[in-house]
Amino acid sequence: MNGVYDVGGTDGLGPVIRDENEPVFHEPWQGHLFAMQTLIRGKHKVWVLDETRHAIERVNPVYYMGSSYYQIWLLRTESLLIEKGVLTEEELRARMEQLAEGSIPEPHLKDYRRVQPLLPSVQRRTALTPRSGAATREEFTEPKFSPGMVVRAKQMSPLGHTRIPRYIRGKTGVVDAIHGLYTLPDAKVHEGVDLYQPVYRVCFEAQHLWGEDASPNDKLYIELWEDYLDLEEAEI
pLDDT digits (tens, 9 = 90+) for 145-196: 999 999 999 999 999 999 999 999 999 999 999 999 999 999 999 999 999 9
pLDDT digits (tens, 9 = 90+) for 21-34: 999 999 999 999 99
10 has pLDDT over 90: no
Task: Look at residue 90 in the predicted model and tell me its pLDDT.
Answer: 93
Integer Rg of the chain from CA: 20
Q: Please state the separation of Cα 134 from the chain's center in Å.
A: 22
Nearest to 73, CA basis, from 53, 45, 95: 53
Task: Look at residue 58 in the predicted model and tell me its pLDDT.
Answer: 95
Q: What b/e sequence results for 209-223 when a residue is b if at least 16 CB atoms lie within 10 Å of its CB, and e otherwise?
A: bbeeeeeeeeebebe
What percent of the chain stands above pLDDT 70?
Answer: 99
Task: Look at residue 236 in the predicted model and tell me its pLDDT.
Answer: 54
234 has pLDDT over 70: no
Task: Look at residue 180 in the predicted model and tell me its pLDDT.
Answer: 93
Helix or strand or coil: residue 153?
A: strand
- CA dist 97 and 54 (Å) reads 28
C-alpha dihedral (110, 113, 119, 125), degrees to nearest 10: 140
Determine if residue 14 is left, alpha or beta; phi over 0 gives left, psi from -120 to 50 gives alpha, anything else beta: left
Nearest to 160, CA basis, from 131, 182, 130, 133: 130
Nearest to 53, CA basis, from 155, 190, 182: 190
Packing angle, helices 69-83 and 89-99, rounded to 10: 130
What percent of the chain stands above pLDDT 90?
Answer: 68
The residue type of 220 is L
- 5: pLDDT confidence band, cut at 50, 70 and 90? confident
Ordered by where they begin, the domains of the chain are 28-112 (1.10.472.20), 150-231 (2.30.30.50)
- CA dist 138 and 181 (Å) reads 10
